[in-house]
Amino acid sequence: MRTKKENGGGTFEVGSNILIRTVTMYQVGRIRSVDADWIVLDDASWIADMGRFSTALESGELAEVERCPSWIAVARGSIVDVVPWTHDLPKKSK
């Protein structure tokens, strides 16, 4: 099983926390797996309202969070950008 997938100069590593911005929404979680078509996240949340993007990245503070009951798969074709999430993952919806 591959644990890394090269992506335009960056590397997605299994076990890393990331924030994914797609065309229509944001997700944050821990990478379970990566292949050519999907990034699967465990301990994931949909970020309904991020607030200011730079503030969220610096502080980890998110305005509105909806926890996923299990894993979530994000289609790589829908991704605008991926950012390392250096904060604790949200544990509650708010």
pLDDT band per the 50, 70, 90 thresholds, residue 2: very low
Looking at per-residue pLDDT, the higher value among 16 and 8 belongs to 16
CATH number assigned to the domain comprising residue 37? 2.30.30.100
Question: How many domains, in total, are found in the chain?
Answer: 1
Return the pLDDT at 11. 66
On whether residue 21 sits in a domain, the answer given is: yes
Of 22, 11, 16, nearest in space to 86 by CA: 16
On whether residue 94 sits in a domain, the answer given is: no
On whether residue 43 sits in a domain, the answer given is: yes
Report the share of the chain in percent with pLDDT over 70.
Answer: 88
On whether residue 92 sits in a domain, the answer given is: no
Radius of gyration of the chain (CA): 12
On whether residue 65 sits in a domain, the answer given is: yes
On whether residue 93 sits in a domain, the answer given is: no
On whether residue 64 sits in a domain, the answer given is: yes
Q: What single DSSP character describes residue 24?
A: S
Q: What's the domain range around 41? A: 4-84
